[in-house]
Amino acid sequence: MKGCLVCGNPIRQPATGRRRQYCSHACRQLAYRRRHGGQAGSMTRATIEANNILDLVFRHAGRGR
């Protein structure tokens, strides 16, 4: 199992479709900002983890973020 390209957390892969590279929407955004010269370097590990928790909460509530 491959880990997230940003934080190294494990990634749950879908049964079909494109393989995921990031564990959460927050990590995907951070990688995008890093590639495009944004100010994402100021995002701390705690912020990434908080965003991961929010993603889980929204997914559990059935609302997708």
pLDDT at 42: 62
pLDDT at 21: 93
Tell which residue, 12, 25, 22, has the closest CA to residue 53: 25
Which residues are CB-neighbours of 63 under 8 A, at least 6 positions away? none
pLDDT in tens, 27-65: 998 899 888 876 555 667 788 888 888 888 887 776 544
pLDDT at 22: 93
Q: For 10, phi and psi rounded to 5 degrees? A: -65, 150
Can you tell me the distance from the alpha carbon of 27 to that of 63, in angstroms, rounded to the nearest whole number? Answer: 19
How many CA within 13 A on the CB side of residue 64? Answer: 0
Enumerate the domain spans of the chain: 1-65
Average pLDDT of the residues in 8-32? 90
